[in-house]
Amino acid sequence: MNTKNPTALTPHNHDSCIASALEKAQQVCQRNNVRLTELRLRVLELVWRSHKPLGAYDILAVLAKEDGRNAAPPTVYRALDFLLEQGLIHRIASLNAFIGCSDPECPHQGYFLICNQCGITLELHSDKVSKSIQRAALEYDFQISHEMVEVVGVCPNCKV
Amino acid sequence: MNTKNPTALTPHNHDSCIASALEKAQQVCQRNNVRLTELRLRVLELVWRSHKPLGAYDILAVLAKEDGRNAAPPTVYRALDFLLEQGLIHRIASLNAFIGCSDPECPHQGYFLICNQCGITLELHSDKVSKSIQRAALEYDFQISHEMVEVVGVCPNCKV
DNA sequence: ACTAGTATGTTATATTATAACAATTATGTT
DNA sequence: AACATAATTGTTATAATATAACATACTAGT
C-alpha cells in the first residue's frame, strides 16, 4: 500500500479537520436533542482520525490499546449506529467499514471513491450522479429511500 | 414481505428466463475457454431461480436439501467466485448476496434497485448514471476499476 | 496409462454483527 | 438531596458471512 502521502487528497491540516468535524458533531447533536457521549465522541474521533474507512473491530482494538477500555463489540456497534443515525458517519458496504461524513449538517447520500491501492476514500458530492440515479429510478417507478454509490479504483496519488 | 406477485417486474415466464440465462452462460464459458461444471451450473441456476439476491449460506442450504450434497462453505464461495469472474452473476455488497447478471455476454457494471419490502432486485442499465459517475471520477483524477450502485427503496408492486 | 493442471472436499478458523439481559449513568421531578 | 425513569453502556453468548490450508478427485493432453 502506498501510504507515503496519505493526506494529499485533503491538503489542509488533518488535525484541524478532525477538530472541526467534532465541533460540528456537537452542534448537530445539540440541535437534534441527542447525547454525544464520551464514547460516541471518541468513536467518531477514531473514525475521523483514520485516513481510510475503519472497521468496527479496528475501533475496538484502538479502544483497548489506547484507552485501556475493554469494550465488547456491541459497545462499538451501538456507538456506530448512533453516529449513522445522526448522519455523522457513513458506512461503506463493500468494505464493512465506516468513514466520517464530510458535511453532517446537511443530510445527504454518500458517494464514494475508494482507492484499492492505499485505501483512501473520498466522499464526493455530485448533483449529476444524484439526478441521474433519481431519473433512472423514476423510469422504473421505484421510490428511493437510500442510495449507495461506491466506486473502486486508483486515486491520483497512487497512479504512477 | 410482499411476495404475492414476485415476477411482476419480469413479466415473461421465469423458467424460460432461467433456461436462457443458463444457455448464455454455457456460451460465455465456451468462449472464455473455462469450465462451467455441474456444480457451477447448479449454483448459477439457484441464483437465477431466486427472485431476490441469494446468500451463500442459502445456496448451501438448498444444495443440502434438494441435492443431498453436503457441501461446505468454500465449495459454494468458489463457485460464486468463478461465476463473478465470468460476469455471470453480480454481488450485492449491501446484502452480502448474489444475483444473476441480466446480460452476461456484454460485460458491465451492475446498478441495482433493491426493494426493502419484498426483496426483489432489479438490474438497471443506464448510460446516464454510468456517464455521470465517470465524469465525477474524472474531476477527481480518479481511475475507476469497478462501480457499485445499490439503490434501496420500494418497488412498484409494493407501493400501496 | 501418465501427468499436470483444475476442481472439489474437508477441517478449522477468521471476520463481521447482533440478541438478550445486567449494571450503570444521566435527567427531570419532588 | 432523594427518587423514579429513561437512556446508555457492560457482559456473555452466539449468529452470519467468509477464507486459509491441505487432501482428494477429476479432466485433458500426451
**Any domain includes A58:** yes
Band of residue B4 on the pLDDT scale cut at 50, 70, 90: very low
By the CB < 8 Å criterion, does A93 face chain B?
yes
Partnered with residue B143 across adjacent β-strands are A154
pLDDT at B2: 42
Which positions of chain A have pLDDT values less than 50?
1-11
Tell me the average pLDDT across B39-53: 97
Is B106 annotated in a binding site? The answer is no
| Closest nucleotide over all strands to A70 (CA to C1') | D10
Contact flag B153-A133 (C-beta cutoff 8 Å): no
Q: Is B143 on the interface with A (CB under 8 A)?
A: yes
CB B75 within 8 A of CB B39: yes
Range of the domain at B136: 14-158
Q: Tell me how far apart the alpha carbons of residues B44 and B47 are, in angstroms, rounded to a whole number.
A: 5
- Mean model confidence pLDDT for chain B: 91
Q: Could you give the 3-state DSSP secondary structure of residue A131?
A: helix
| Distance in angstroms (rounded) separating the CA atoms of residues A132 and A107 | 19
Residue A64 domain-assigned?
A: yes
Per-residue pLDDT of B89-146, as tens digits, reads 999 999 999 999 988 888 787 899 999 999 999 999 999 999 999 999 999 999 999 9
Q: Is residue B4 part of a domain?
A: no
- Whether the pTM exceeds 0.75: the reply is yes
Rounded to whole angstroms, the Cα distance separating A58 from A60 reads 5
Residue A131 covered by a domain: yes
Instruction: Please report whether residue A57 resides in a domain.
Output: yes
- C-alpha cell read off for A132: 441521474
Q: Which of A29, A12, A15, A160 is nearest to A88 (CA)?
A: A29
Nearest nucleotide from residue A95 CA, by C1' atom: C16
pLDDT at B12: 58
Q: Does strand D come within 7 Å of the CB of B3?
A: no
Q: How far is the CA of B78 from the C1' of C8 (A)?
A: 9
Note whether residue A20 is domain-resident. yes
Contact A136 B126 (CB under 8 A): yes
Residue A2 lies in a domain: no
* Over residues B52-75, mean pLDDT: 97
Domain count, chain A: 1
- pLDDT value, residue B3: 40
Residue B73 CA to residue B71 CA, distance in Å, equals 7
Whether A150 and B152 lie within 8 Å, measured CB to CB: no
Which nucleotides in chain D have some atom under 7 angstroms from a protein Cβ?
7-14, 16-21, 27-28
- Whether residues A148 and B149 touch (CB distance < 8 A) is answered with yes
Return chain B residues 75..104 having CB < 7 Å to nucleic acid strand D: 77, 96
